[in-house]
């Protein structure tokens, strides 16, 4: 008898495997992310057509910064990300506003509605993760994704930035709690680009930003499936030990990053990944995906392994969903 998605994920988190490793993938459907109903329909449809064992909700990436005064608009194209109209946090004056003003939680409330609807439709056999950006990542979005501006503010205005990051982490913790209450099995906690040790040294990250990660993740108390996403190359693996997620997702293809079995065995944590986020899964052939997925499974023997891309597959490959469906077949044959 085949296991459910929940059973497969639970076995992987125990560093074991059920009948096969769980599989999933996620990516932006840019034109669908501005409507609760359309995002629900798209998410549920992908999960069912592609036979995913778990769902990572692909919220509009700008929604967290929008909560603190930034503004984006739909690009007009299904294949092009939203266009920024106002960054919201490029100078000290803006951060004084962020630190002292109540955030607009309306856009986050919409993502909670999406979570409630998809968990109701998919049921308990398909666990769903709510995407939450780290406070440092939200701050990066608020600078217009300008690393130089962000690092300058963190170093020149430490007290002001700390006050703003407190406000952000409080809001992210609220979002985490409400999402879990709405049915999420846990969080997909993303740290980008500050998880790259060439962007911020681990000791500086620990001193400046780690406390805000911990206060945000306190909102996930009681969740059983929290996935830490470390984005980019040269990932700061000390964050795995510091934050102790149930699972960690990163790209084994980016420079300076550990392999699947190395991460699993060194940190005694389940691993999610093995597939490149772009080629071949987004535009390649089924046979190319099959070979890459088989190689990933060989690295771990499927134990403690959730077979997924190492990052978002965006834009979502509507015309290549066979490349997603083949993952379950590969996992079963490994």
pLDDT in tens, 164-183: 999 999 999 999 999 999 99
Q: Three-state SS across the chain?
A: CCCCHHHHHHHHHCCCCCCCCCECCCCCCCCCCCCHHHHHHHHHHHHHHCCCCCEECCCCCCHHHHCCCCEEECCCCCCCCCEEEECCCCCHHHHHHHHHCCCCCHHHHHHHHHHHHHHHHHCCCCCEEEEEECHHHHHHHHCCCCHHHHHHHHHHCHHHHHHHHHHHHHHHHHHHHHHHHCCCCEEEEEECCCCECCCCCHHHHHHHCHHHHHHHHHHHCCCCCCEEEECCCCECCHHHHHHCCCEEECCCCCCCCCCHHHHHHHHCCEEEEEECCCCCCCCCCHHHHHHHHHHHHHHHCCCCEEEEECCCCCCCCHHHCHHHHHHHHHHHHC
Q: How far is CA 204 from the centre of its chain?
A: 23
Report the DSSP pairing between strands 83-86 and 71-73. antiparallel
Q: What are phi and psi of 74, to 5 degrees?
A: -60, 135
Tens of pLDDT, residue by residue, the chain (334 residues): 679 999 999 999 999 999 999 999 999 999 999 999 999 999 999 999 999 999 999 999 999 999 999 999 999 999 999 999 999 999 999 999 999 999 999 999 999 999 999 999 999 999 999 999 999 999 999 999 999 999 999 999 999 999 999 999 999 999 999 999 999 999 999 999 999 999 999 999 999 999 999 999 999 999 999 999 999 999 999 999 999 999 999 999 999 999 999 999 999 999 999 999 999 999 999 999 999 999 999 999 999 999 999 999 999 999 999 999 999 999 999 8
- For 132, how many CA atoms within 13 A lie in the half-sphere containing its CB? 37
Nearest-angstrom CA–CA distance, 198 and 190: 17
What's the pTM?
0.98
Q: What are phi and psi of 260, to 5 degrees?
A: -65, -55
- Domain 5-333 fold is TIM Barrel (3.20.20)
* Segment 9-34, tens digit of pLDDT: 999 999 999 999 999 999 999 999 99
Nearest-angstrom CA–CA distance, 152 and 188: 28
CA triplet 68, 180, 29: central angle to 5 degrees? 60
Nearest-angstrom CA–CA distance, 266 and 42: 37
- Cβ atoms 90, 76 nearer than 8 A: no
């Amino acid at each position: 008898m085949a296991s459910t998605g929940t059973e497969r994920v639970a076995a992987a988190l125990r560093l074991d495997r059920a009948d096969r490793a769980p599989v999933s993938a996620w990516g932006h459907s840019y034109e669908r992310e501005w409507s609760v109903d359309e995002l629900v329909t798209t998410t549920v449809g992908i999960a069912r057509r592609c036979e995913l064992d778990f769902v990572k909700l692909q919220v509009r990436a700008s929604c967290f910064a929008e909560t603190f005064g930034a503004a984006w608009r739909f690009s007009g194209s299904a294949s092009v990300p939203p266009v920024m109209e106002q960054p919201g946090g490029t100078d000290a004056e803006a951060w004084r506003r962020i630190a002292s003003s109540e955030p607009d939680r309306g856009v986050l409330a919409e993502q909670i509605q999406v979570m409630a609807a998809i968990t109701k439709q998919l049921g308990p056999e398909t666990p769903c993760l709510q995407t939450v950006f780290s406070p440092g990542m939200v701050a990066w979005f608020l600078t217009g994704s300008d690393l130089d501006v962000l690092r300058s503010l963190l170093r020149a205005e430490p007290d002001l930035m700390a006050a703003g990051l407190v406000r952000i982490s409080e809001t992210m913790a609220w979002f985490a709690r409400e999402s879990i209450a709405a049915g999420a099995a846990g969080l997909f906690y993303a740290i980008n680009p500050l998880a790259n040790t060439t962007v911020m040294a681990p000791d500086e990250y620990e001193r400046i930003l780690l406390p805000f990660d911990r206060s945000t993740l306190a909102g996930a108390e009681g969740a059983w499936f929290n996935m830490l996403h470390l984005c980019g190359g040269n990932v700061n693996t000390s964050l795995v030990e510091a934050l102790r997620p149930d699972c960690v997702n990163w790209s084994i293809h980016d420079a300076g990053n550990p392999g699947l079995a190395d991460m699993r065995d060194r940190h005694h944590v389940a691993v999610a990944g093995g597939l490149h986020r772009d080629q071949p899964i987004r535009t390649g052939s089924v046979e190319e995906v099959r070979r890459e997925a088989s190689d990933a499974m060989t690295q771990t023997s499927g134990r403690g392994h959730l077979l997924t891309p190492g990052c978002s597959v965006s834009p979502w490959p509507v015309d290549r969903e066979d490349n997603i469906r083949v993952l379950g077949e590969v996992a079963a044959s490994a």
